[in-house]
């Protein structure tokens, strides 16, 4: 594999499993030194680091509560101290929760927006202030923003917010040569979609011409392109990564 990220430093939030783990491994495989962020599952994050190191890559696991700005800022300060250069930020940490609008409670709303939206905003604030020139920010949104699925009002709203943040950040961070894009994955397995009903799973499979669910690696490969210098002329874009579902 081409080492096109050699000498780069990358921070992947929510890097202990699923899409985040696949992204961390792919960026490390491309030569980046990766900070594998985790919220509570230290063992899973260390497993990702072990896999990366076994493959000859560089990675360090670091904890931070992305729901709290002071904890998030402390995490970024420690991550920057560990990296020789801070060039790539992948805002992957997220939570999905479903409920009809009539059943949504405040605690549920606050948790989803704290992790899916507030954390993205303040992580990009750190990128604006501290990332090296010509860096790359990749936000993980969701293809649910294109499909109005009942029961996903809060999650969908949070990912619409991520898309809005991407638009504005692309203009504000662009002054420092930093690109900002988001990926919108469809159903991925293993991942959040594992709890979906059999009928929902069958529908997702039938919706793509490839007749399968996505994998974390499908998303990670797309992210690796956006994290590289090859994507230098792409910013403010929302890229569906769902196998052409419902085209």
Give the pLDDT of residue 2. Answer: 66
From the candidates 155, 181, 218, 235, give the one annotated as an active-site residue: 155
Tell me the domains of the chain and their CATH numbers.
Answer: 9-186+216-232 (3.40.50.720)
For residue 102, what is the DSSP state? G
Token pair in block for residue 132: 């090296």
Kindly give, in sequence order, each residue whose CB lies less than 8 Å from that of residue 124, ignoring residues fewer than 6 positions away. Answer: 89, 91, 137, 139, 165, 169, 173, 180
Residues 3-44 pLDDT 10s: 899 999 999 999 999 999 999 999 999 999 999 999 999 999
**Residue 51, C-beta contacts closer than 8 angstroms, at least 6 positions apart:** 25
86 part of the active site? no
**pLDDT tens per residue, range 45-94:** 999 999 999 999 999 999 999 999 999 999 999 999 999 899 999 999 99
Tens digit of each residue's pLDDT (9 = 90 or more) over 134-177: 999 999 999 999 988 889 999 999 999 999 999 999 999 999 99
Residue 148 has a pLDDT of: 82
What's the pLDDT at 76?
98
pLDDT tens track for 173-219: 999 999 999 999 999 988 767 667 787 788 889 889 999 999 999 99
Give residue-wise pLDDT tens across range 107-122: 999 999 999 999 999 9
Q: How confident is the model at residue 1 (pLDDT cuts 50, 70, 90)?
A: low
Q: How far apart are alpha carbons 91 and 76 in whole angstroms?
A: 12
pTM of the full predicted structure? Answer: 0.95
- Largest distance between two CA atoms of the chain: 51
Q: Please name the helix (run of DSSP H) or strand (run of DSSP E) that holds residue 11, with its range, or none.
A: strand 9-12
């Amino acid at each position: 594999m081409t080492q096109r990220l050699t000498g780069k430093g990358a921070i992947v939030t929510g890097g202990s499993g699923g899409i985040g783990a696949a992204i961390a491994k792919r960026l490390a495989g491309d030569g980046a030194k990766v900070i594998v962020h985790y919220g509570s599952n230290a063992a899973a994050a260390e497993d990702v680091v072990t896999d990366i190191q076994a493959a000859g890559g560089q990675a360090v696991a670091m904890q931070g509560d992305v729901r709290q700005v002071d904890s998030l800022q402390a995490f970024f300060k420690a991550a920057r101290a560990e990296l020789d250069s801070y060039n790539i930020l992948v805002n992957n940490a997220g939570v999905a929760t479903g409920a009809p609008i009539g059943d949504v409670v405040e605690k549920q709303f606050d948790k989803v927006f704290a992790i899916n939206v507030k954390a993205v905003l303040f992580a990009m604030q750190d990128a604006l202030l501290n990332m090296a020139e010509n860096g790359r920010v990749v936000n993980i949104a969701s293809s649910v923003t294109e499909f109005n699925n009942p029961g996903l009002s809060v999650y969908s709203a949070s990912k619409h917010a991520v898309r809005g943040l991407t638009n504005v950040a692309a203009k504000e961070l662009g002054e420092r040569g930093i690109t900002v894009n988001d990926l919108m994955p469809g159903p991925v397995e293993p991942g959040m979609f594992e709890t979906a009903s059999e009928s929902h799973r069958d529908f997702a499979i039938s919706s793509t011409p490839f007749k399968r669910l996505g994998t974390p690696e499908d998303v990670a490969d797309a992210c690796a392109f956006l994290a590289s210098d090859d994507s230098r002329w792409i910013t403010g874009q929302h890229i569906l990564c769902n196998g052409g579902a419902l085209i």
